[in-house]
């Protein structure tokens, strides 16, 4: 066997798959996974978008409210992963069909690619600040390309190691959060932050800020079943992910809002979603922490993007290495498109428009129509109850189109004062429920079946837990 063949075999065997696994993780372990996952710079910088357009106390309230509401969707989808053992994109086969699920997979890859570009740019900006401070040389685009190239290499060869050290980077962000909060509130009183004057024509309204916070939760829900399928029970997964996600998001976004408020009170130029804006007043250690955190998170984003494509269809596994190389090249090229940072709000709203309807459909399909039970034929390449019409559930696709279109219209054409995500979610939920209710009575009624058990029964083998994959994901 040639060197390339051995490498391909090793990468393929170590790649996460879309098959069911039996979880073994405790509540505390799931909590730490989610706490580490979202204590990242992108969430921190999202908090810098809202101040001073919206009053600081109101921003904190909106962050808490949007996070709690979004966490409700996140844990509900995550519980399906725990109950079945399947990751999120594999679960979309339930409502959309074996082939129809490719629509959600394609959207997921596009979104992950966008996240990868954003994080490469942020890492490049942070590295550029450090280099420019020491040498005077400055080229953010060059450093973004360099960072993304390293990320692609790590995603292919070293993602497991990065996954193990990522929680330490989250701990560093937590320590810096404490430092920034102490500096901010020992320099200025809370009343000073509350009295920050909004610009004459603010971009952000309370409704848009709430929508962006909620969209952040929607973007993380894409991975909720991937993480929570390793929980020992649905209850442990719900409690761990609910507390972990809520704490990390509220801390990170409040940190961003506080840091940008401190910049404004210092009389410095306020540039939202710009790491240098908050690095300069707080020092180079923040730049190092941002760089390391973003690089670690981006490695797992690129790896997740590759595995989404590799496992797009059951029984038709795409080769890992060629997929990683193609997507890696695209991600490196895209890291030069710095204009995306100016469109970050649009990017988040797009995520919400695409995936809030998907999750509404998934919740209706699993908990209401399928009565909390997916059969083993969801793992089949064709045929069975998830084949629908030629592998596509047309009603799910049409419901998704209605929801995504309404989200866009309510965000840009006729903006609603409370945002577009919640109305689009409710509309999609109702539409899919109405068109799918007639087939509910035909679904079997019985206890939930974990698909790892179903596979083991079919093969005649003993059930095996998945600690190795759980550790690798964490």
pLDDT (0 to 100) of residue 469: 39
Q: Which residue has the higher pLDDT, 395 or 351?
A: 395
pLDDT over threshold 90, residue 228: yes
Nearest by Cα to 327 from 303, 297, 354: 303
The structure tokens listed for 201 are 């024509």
Q: Which residue has the higher pLDDT, 34 or 466?
A: 34
What percent of the chain shows pLDDT beyond 90? Answer: 52
SS3 string of the chain? CCHHHHHHHHHHHHCCCCCCCECCECHHHHHHHHHHHHCCHHHHHHHCCCCCCCCHHHHHHHHHHHHHHHHHHHHHHHHHHHHHCCCHHHHCHHHHCCCCHHHHHHHHHHHHHHHHHHHHHHHHHHHHHHHHHHHCCCCHHHHHHHHHHHHHHHHHHCHHHHHHHHHHHHHHHHHHHHHHHHHHHHHCCHHHHHCCCCCCCCCCCHHHHHHHHHHHHHHHHCCHHHHHCCECCHHHHHHHHHHHHHHHHHHHHHHHHHHHHHHHHCCCCCCCCCHHHHHHHHCHHHHHHHHHHHHHHHHHHHHHHHHHHHCCCCCCCCCHHHHHHHHHHHHHHHCCCHHHHHHHHHHHHHHHHHHHHHHHHHHHHHHHHCCCCCCHHHHCCCCCCCCCECCECHHHHHHHHHHHHHHHHHHHHCCCCCCCHHHHHHHHHHHHHHHHHHHHHHCCCCCCCCHHHHHHHHHCCCCCECHHHHHHHC
pLDDT (0 to 100) of residue 341: 84
pLDDT over threshold 50, residue 474: no
pLDDT (0 to 100) of residue 2: 54
pLDDT digits (tens, 9 = 90+) for 155-182: 888 767 767 777 777 777 788 888 889 9
Per-residue pLDDT band at 383 (split at 50, 70, 90): confident
Nearest by Cα to 38 from 207, 227, 179, 198: 227
Average pLDDT on 410-414 reads: 85
pLDDT over threshold 80, residue 222: yes
pLDDT over threshold 60, residue 6: no
pLDDT (0 to 100) of residue 468: 38
pLDDT (0 to 100) of residue 470: 38
Q: What is the rounded distance in angstroms from the CA atom of residue 366 to the CA atom of residue 240?
A: 22
The structure tokens listed for 413 are 């054409």
Nearest by Cα to 231 from 86, 34, 373, 26: 26
pLDDT over threshold 60, residue 13: no
Peptide bond into 52 cis (omega under 30): yes
pLDDT over threshold 80, residue 454: no
pLDDT over threshold 70, residue 460: no
The average confidence (pLDDT) of the chain is: 87
Which residues 6+ apart lie within 8 Å of 45 measured at CB?
122, 256, 272, 273, 274, 275
Nearest by Cα to 181 from 280, 99, 262: 262
pLDDT over threshold 80, residue 456: no
pLDDT digits (tens, 9 = 90+) for 328-366: 999 999 999 888 888 888 888 888 888 999 999 999 999
pTM of structure: 0.88
> Residue 152: how many CA atoms within 13 Å on its side-chain side?
24
Domain ranges of the chain: 25-463
pLDDT (0 to 100) of residue 14: 57
pLDDT (0 to 100) of residue 462: 52
Q: Which residue has the higher pLDDT, 393 or 205?
A: 393
Per-residue pLDDT band at 304 (split at 50, 70, 90): confident
Would residue 460 be called left, alpha or beta, if left means φ above 0 and alpha means ψ between -120 and 50 degrees? left
Q: Which residue has the higher pLDDT, 264 or 284?
A: 264
pLDDT digits (tens, 9 = 90+) for 66-120: 999 999 999 999 999 999 999 999 999 999 999 999 999 998 898 889 999 999 9
End-to-end CA distance of the chain: 32
Nearest by Cα to 436 from 159, 95, 16: 95
The CATH homologous superfamily for domain 25-463 is: Hydantoin permease (1.10.4160.10)
């Amino acid at each position: 066997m040639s060197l390339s063949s051995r490498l391909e075999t090793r990468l393929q065997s170590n790649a996460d798959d879309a098959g069911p696994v039996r979880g073994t993780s405790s509540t505390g372990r799931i909590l730490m996974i989610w706490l580490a996952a979202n204590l990242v710079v992108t969430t921190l910088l999202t908090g810098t978008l809202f101040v001073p357009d919206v009053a600081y106390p109101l921003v904190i309230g909106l962050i808490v409210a949007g996070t709690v509401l979004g966490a409700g969707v996140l844990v509900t989808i995550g519980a399906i992963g725990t109950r079945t053992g399947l990751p999120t994109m594999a679960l979309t086969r339930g409502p959309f069909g074996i082939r129809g699920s490719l629509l959600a997979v394609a959207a997921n890859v596009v979104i992950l690619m966008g996240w990868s570009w954003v994080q490469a740019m942020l890492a490049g900006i942070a590295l550029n600040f450090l280099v420019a401070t020491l040498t005077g040389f400055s080229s953010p685009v060059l450093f973004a390309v360099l960072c993304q190239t390293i990320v692609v290499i790590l995603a292919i060869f070293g993602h497991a190691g990065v996954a193990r050290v990522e929680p330490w980077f989250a701990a560093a962000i937590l320590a810096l959060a404490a430092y920034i909060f102490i500096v901010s509130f020992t320099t200025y009183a809370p009343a000073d932050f509350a009295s920050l004057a909004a610009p004459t024509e603010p971009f952000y309204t309370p409704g848009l800020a709430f929508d962006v916070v909620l969209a952040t939760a929607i973007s993380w829900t894409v991975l909720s079943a991937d993480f929570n399928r390793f929980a020992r029970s649905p209850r442990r997964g719900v409690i761990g992910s609910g507390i972990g996600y809520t704490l990390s998001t509220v801390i990170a976004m409040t940190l961003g809002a506080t840091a940008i408020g401190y910049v404004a009170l210092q009389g410095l130029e306020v540039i939202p979603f710009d790491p240098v804006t908050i690095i300069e007043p707080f020092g180079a250690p923040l730049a190092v922490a941002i760089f390391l955190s973003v690089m670690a998170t981006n490695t797992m984003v690129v790896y997740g993007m590759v595995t989404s494509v590799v496992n797009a269809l059951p029984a038709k596994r795409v080769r890992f290495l060629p997929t990683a190389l193609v997507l890696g090249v695209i991600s490196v090229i895209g890291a030069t498109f710095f204009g995306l940072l100016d469109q970050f709000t649009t990017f988040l709203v797009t995520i919400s428009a695409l995936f809030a309807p998907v999750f509404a459909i998934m919740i209706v399909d699993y908990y209401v129509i399928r009565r909390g039970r997916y059969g083993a034929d969801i793992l089949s390449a064709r045929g069975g109850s998830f084949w629908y019409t030629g592998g596509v559930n047309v009603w799910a696709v049409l419901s998704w189109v209605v929801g995504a279109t309404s989200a866009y219209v309510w965000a840009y054409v006729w903006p609603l004062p409370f945002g577009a995500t919640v109305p689009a979610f409710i509309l999609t939920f109702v539409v899919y429920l109405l068109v799918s209710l007639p087939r509910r009575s035909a679904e079997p009624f019985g206890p939930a079946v974990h698909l790892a058990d179903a596979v083991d029964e079919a093969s005649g083998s003993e059930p095996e837990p998945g600690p190795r994959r759980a550790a690798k994901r964490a």
